[in-house]
Amino acid sequence: MEKKILLLCAAGMSTSLLVTKMLKAAEEKNIKVKIEACPVEKFREKLNEFDIFLLGPQVRFQHAELNTIAAEHNKKVEVINMVDYGTMNGAKVLESALNALNIN
């Protein structure tokens, strides 16, 4: 079953490279995922499309608010590890997202 991961950031630009690296890591591990990035403002309209939402470090201050909304829909919101984000470590970000969804 394909898991759907959405990265949320301030403008949607910095996370697009990370999405590419995550997709490459998923392909190498033969994991079926849909991964996209968009500005955090689109969170509510994307809520039903994705299983988990990953916040870029620049919007992590919105975690509590978005997590409350997501929980009402049985969805998860996590903050991307700052080091993994800074180094664009797609494999680590993908692994932490799958762990949060209890998929190993």
**38 is known as an active-site residue:** no
Question: What are the CB-based long-range contacts (under 8 Å, 24+) for 69-78?
Answer: 69/43, 69/44, 73/47, 73/48, 75/47, 75/50, 75/51, 76/51, 76/52, 76/100, 76/101, 77/52, 77/53, 78/52, 78/53, 78/54
Which tokens is 42 given? 């689109």
Kindly name the residue from 9, 19, 70, 97 that is annotated as catalytic: 9
Contacts (Cβ under 8 Å, ≥6 apart) of 25: 90, 91, 94
Catalytic residue annotation? 9
